[in-house]
Amino acid sequence: MQSFRTELELIDHSTKALVEKDIIDLDKKIREFKEGIINPEKFRSLRLARGVYGQRQQGVQMIRIKLPFGKISTKQLVRIADISDEYSNGNLHLTTRQDIQIHHVSLDRTPELWAKLEQDDITLREACGNTVRNITASPEAGIDINEPFDVSPYADALFKYFLRKPFGQELGRKIKIAFSNNEKDTAFTYIHDFGFIPKVNEQNERGFKVLIGGGLGAQPFLAQTAYEFLHEDKLIPFVEASIRVFDRYGERVSRHKARIKYLINKIGAAEFIKLTSEEEKALLNHTVKIERNAEAFEPKVEAKENTEIPYNNSTDFRKWLATNTFNQKQKGLHGVYIKVLLGNISSVKARELAEIIDSYASSEDIRITINQGFLLKHVPTEELIYLYEELKELDLVTPGFDSVGDITACPGTDTCNLAISNSTNISVELEKVIYTEYPELIYNHDIKIKISGCMNSCGQHGLAQIGFHGSSFKVGTNVVPALQVLLGGGTLGNGKGRIAEKVIKVASKRAPDVLRKLFDDFENGAAEGEYFNSYYDRKGKDHFYQLLKPIGDNSNLNADEYFDWGSEEKFKTEIGVGECAGVIIDLVQTLFFEADEKLAWSAEAHENKQFGDSIYYSYASFIHAAKGLLLNKGVHVNTHHTLISDFDKHFVETGEFKSFKELVLQINKNEPTEEFSVSYFNEAKQFVNDVKAYREKIKEEVLEEIK
């Protein structure tokens, strides 16, 4: 358990103190959990915020590695591959959030694993749980000829700014942020809590179109426009104010209604923006200037004089060139996509890939793509043929990147507690159908196929032209693995999109037939040049229901259809407690402990002259203490906002406490100065002590009555 301390000595000095505290704290919490000191639900919240996620398989964890906007170096890729060999099963899984996950890790070894990752500046912090999750961005950012400017430095700045911020640690639910690099919206801003599209105004100033309140899941919402143009210096202050509003007003009891999309839908976008403006006084920074041209984002490869691609008559090479490469805005350089089946790549292959990248592309700026592949940057034109031959040796030159044949899928029942049916093996089967029976579709980028193991849309089925999510149905006493078919989703551009509609549910083993039927119907019925969604709209949902109805007929199931893809056991639903969005912690016995803990953190932050952080920790101690006393009285609350009002109702109006609302809401009425930090801390400390004394008094009165 303690071997991670040796690894901590090797971390860069500039970040060592913060990282060391994180990792030592995780190790301590694991021991306290095993000793029964920490409640299991509280421990779950703690480990999720540190990237440690419970798997479907008992006794092992999934580790999510947080890679802001998918950027990774070859050195980091090798480090993660080595970690997977040492602590996991030698597989790396690339996600739609541009993270890397490794599975089947022992809980006891996670502090040591984390410490080794941090030696190459890789973090687990806030990769899971009710936090600000990984910030995603169009992988082509920085090299796309059509972008107004590179959004990478902005995504990087938000990642660094919000990491470990106190107001982002215990939210009602997760926050997802995305940057698209142009109006094509390849980062899908319209299904994010916050989405940003770069704009340049008439004064040649940089800024962003701001989208808020989007989300997929069981009840998808399209994002609303908050600003058509928000100046770049206002980007971070707006997000900070918004998260603070969400922390105070967001749902905390019903997890399924706790995303920010529900709050905005309830109060309206205008009211939400009004509340963010009321937080401005409390912000430490009213403008944040972002370093645009950070050296890390500048190309390190100079264009060569020869810009001709060496002649190669291979059909396979020409297919790959046409579907997996593009001209960068930097003359003489190319971006090269690598299609990775299901996002899974072995550690051995990852290390070999890193060696190839070091020879032909930028070793400092590889991007994990949103559809679970890689983008290599700055490949000289004349090197393309040689890069192709090397990648071919690793079987990494499958053509059709981001085409119909490039299916996105979450891990499903392979590892996830929430998954209903398999989403990985079926993806392999569907790709076989496309590449063998409809090979011309590898040039089609209009239709996207996405699959999730359940309705929660980790595979993003809700924004696909053809989507599937795991399900089941009963035939007599038997349960059949099924897929819900959804059609008509997609990106419209500039922050607008459409959500796929549910059409029919079919047995999972019949999904290839669904695909064949859809492709044949589209080929025979669509007008010349007509896109799939236009055809879907023209024909109508019922046309497709009738088209697929014979496949959905369950009266003629065969024996094989009672088994899921890749399984030798008869299907049964085994859904556990999901952890993809953390848990709501509302346990009385831990609240006073947490109030004391937040006070200690407040004092520490003040000592380090982090007055804004200190103030927010003091606010959290107010909230935890008040919540504990309300629960002690049997009063349940679902937001901080109602908690504050209810405490006044049950304890202030009765004369047992002085005004709580005015006291705690000083937080957004004052600037985050040193003086206010001190006074607010002292008031929070006094309040926590008063709450504890009150509770002890009540206990004594109860004991006296019993006597």
Pick 304 or 573 by higher pLDDT.
573
Closest by Cα among 97, 67, 94, 45 to 458: 97
Whether 408-562 and 4-118 are alike in CATH topology: the answer is no
Closest by Cα among 114, 105, 124, 4 to 59: 105
Domain assignments of the chain as residue spans, ordered by start: 4-118, 144-295, 300-393, 408-562, 588-706
Q: Tens digit of pLDDT for each residue in 404-418?
A: 999 999 887 777 777
Q: Beta strands 466-475 and 333-338: pairing type?
A: unpaired
pTM for the whole thing? Answer: 0.91
Pick the CATH number of 144-295 from 3.30.413.10, 3.40.50.300, 3.20.20.140, 1.10.10.10: 3.30.413.10
Pick 117 or 588 by higher pLDDT.
117
Q: List the Cα angle 366/372/373 in 5-degree steps.
A: 45
What share of the chain has pLDDT > 90, as a percent? 72
Residue indicated by tokens 């079919």 = 506
Pick 15 or 571 by higher pLDDT.
571
Q: Tens digit of pLDDT for each residue in 601-618?
A: 999 999 999 999 999 999
pLDDT at 113 exceeding the cut of 60:
yes
Which DSSP letter does residue 414 get? G
- Domain 300-393: which CATH class? alpha beta
Lowest mean pLDDT among 281-295, 388-402, 522-536, 621-635: 281-295
The two structure tokens encoding residue 188: 């899908």
Q: Is 554 helix (H, G, I), strand (E, B) or coil?
A: helix
pLDDT at 651 exceeding the cut of 50:
yes
pLDDT at 578 exceeding the cut of 90:
no
For domain 588-706, give the fold: Four Helix Bundle (Hemerythrin (Met), subunit A) (1.20.120)
The two structure tokens encoding residue 662: 């005015």
CATH number for the region 408-562 comes to 3.30.413.10
Residue 663 pLDDT class (50, 70, 90 cuts): very high
Q: What is the mean pLDDT of residues 373-386?
A: 95
Residue 48 pLDDT class (50, 70, 90 cuts): confident
Q: What is the mean pLDDT of residues 56-80?
A: 93
Distance CA 109, CA 96 (A): 26
The two structure tokens encoding residue 665: 């809401």
Q: What is the mean pLDDT of residues 233-242?
A: 97
Pick the CATH number of 4-118 from 3.90.480.20, 3.30.70.660, 1.20.1050.10, 3.40.50.1450: 3.90.480.20
DSSP string, 661-692: HHHHGGGGTS---HHHHHHHHHHHHHHHHHHH
Pick 239 or 575 by higher pLDDT.
239
pLDDT of residue 658: 87
User: Cβ distance 390 to 379 under 8 Å?
Assistant: no
Per residue in 649-662, is it b (16+ CB within 10 Å) or e — as a string? ebbbeeeebeebee
pLDDT at 396 exceeding the cut of 90:
yes
pLDDT of residue 580: 53
pLDDT of residue 582: 42
pLDDT of residue 707: 46
Q: Is 577 helix (H, G, I), strand (E, B) or coil?
A: coil
pLDDT at 209 exceeding the cut of 90:
yes
